[in-house]
């Protein structure tokens, strides 16, 4: 999969995409991420990409021209399956959306700043608008990093058996069960007997029960969705 990202703060995207599982995905050639500085398509020699909003009011708007030029130039070499604008008024990201996007070949992500991007870019270029939750971030970069991570780890071959996405919370609308490691007794706090039984069926039953209980207690809304 290839992901292109348009940003005015590409530095914010570097670290999250260059370590751990995202690094492995790229090293293995399963994921290619290209971050483009929007200033490359600025309207003048001062690197301007934003301007005041019509109608007045505080806050700048990211202008049409740099975004349109960037999208059109990139689209000459890549055919995008989706052009995604990261915005707090988009559809809230969930595992289903990430699963769907992980099946695509080419994605373009646009990170907003200031008051956001000119509405005409949303109308004429953007095919999907995504928010990562009901809170405000300073810009779309951290949201784009979250989205790339959630998609990238689903690509076939990125995760190994141990980290398999099949066992993730949310993949089956259930939260993950509690986990324990050595020692079996820490300060008198014991590992549940079921996990020490050596009986795989008993262990799986216990884990499933715990998942259900945890989901009922903490996220009853997930069970309603089933």
Whichever of 142 and 195 has its CB closer to ligand 6GU, that residue is: 142
Toward ligand 6GU, which CB reaches closer, 137 or 176?
Answer: 137
User: How many other C-beta atoms lie within 10 A of the C-beta of residue 167?
Assistant: 14
Q: What is the dihedral of CA 49, 55, 59, 65, to 10 degrees?
A: -10
> Least distance from C-beta 178 to ligand 6GU, angstroms?
29
184 close to 190: Cβ distance less than 8 angstroms? yes
Alpha carbon distance 226, 72 (integer Å):
41
* Alpha-carbon distances, residue 126 vs 10, 48, 119 (angstroms): 20, 22, 10
Residue among 3 and 158 whose Cβ is closer to ligand 6GU: 3
Closest approach, Cβ 90 to ligand 6GU, in A, equals: 6
- Residue 92 tokens, joined: 């809230």
Closer CB to ligand 6GU, 114 or 167, in the complex: 114
Instruction: In angstroms, give the least distance from the CB of 20 to ligand 6GU.
Output: 22
- CA-to-CA distance for 86 and 75, rounded, in angstroms? 19
Q: Which is nearer to ligand 6GU, 57 or 198 (CB)?
A: 57
Pick the closest to residue 130 from 80, 93, 82 (CA basis): 93
| DSSP track, 22-80 | HHHHHHTTS-EEEEEEGGGG-SSTT---EEEPTT--SSEEE-HHHHHHHHHHHHHH---
151 neighbors 95 (Cβ within 8 angstroms) = no
- Which of 31, 143 has the CB closer to ligand 6GU? 143
Binding site for ligand 6GU (CB under 6 A): 86-88, 112, 131-133, 135-137, 139-140, 143
Q: Closest distance between ligand 6GU and the C-beta of residue 103, in Å?
A: 21
What is the nearest approach in angstroms of ligand 6GU to the Cβ of residue 43? 23
Least Cβ distance, residue 219 to ligand 6GU (angstroms): 19
């Amino acid at each position: 999969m290839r992901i292109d990202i348009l940003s005015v703060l590409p530095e914010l995207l570097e670290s999250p995409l260059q370590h751990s599982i995202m690094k492995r995905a790229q090293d293995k050639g399963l994921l290619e991420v290209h971050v483009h500085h929007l200033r490359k398509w600025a309207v003048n020699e001062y690197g301007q990409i934003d301007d005041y909003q019509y109608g007045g009011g505080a806050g700048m708007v990211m202008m049409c021209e740099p975004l349109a030029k960037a999208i059109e130039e990139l689209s000459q070499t890549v055919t995008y399956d989706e052009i995604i604008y990261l915005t707090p008024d988009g559809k809230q990201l969930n595992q289903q959306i990430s699963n769907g996007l992980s099946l695509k070949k080419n994605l373009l992500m646009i990170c907003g700043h200031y008051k956001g991007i000119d509405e005409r870019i949303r109308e004429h270029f953007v095919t999907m608008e995504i928010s990562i939750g009901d809170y405000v971030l300073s810009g779309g970069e951290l949201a784009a990093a979250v989205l790339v991570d959630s998609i990238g780890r689903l690509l076939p071959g990125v995760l190994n058996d141990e980290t398999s996405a099949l066992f993730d919370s949310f993949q089956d609308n259930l939260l993950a069960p509690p986990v324990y490691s050595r020692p079996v007794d820490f300060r008198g706090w014991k590992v549940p007997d079921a996990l020490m039984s050596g009986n795989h069926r008993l262990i799986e039953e216990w884990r499933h029960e715990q998942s259900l209980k945890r989901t009922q207690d903490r996220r009853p809304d997930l069970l309603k969705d089933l």
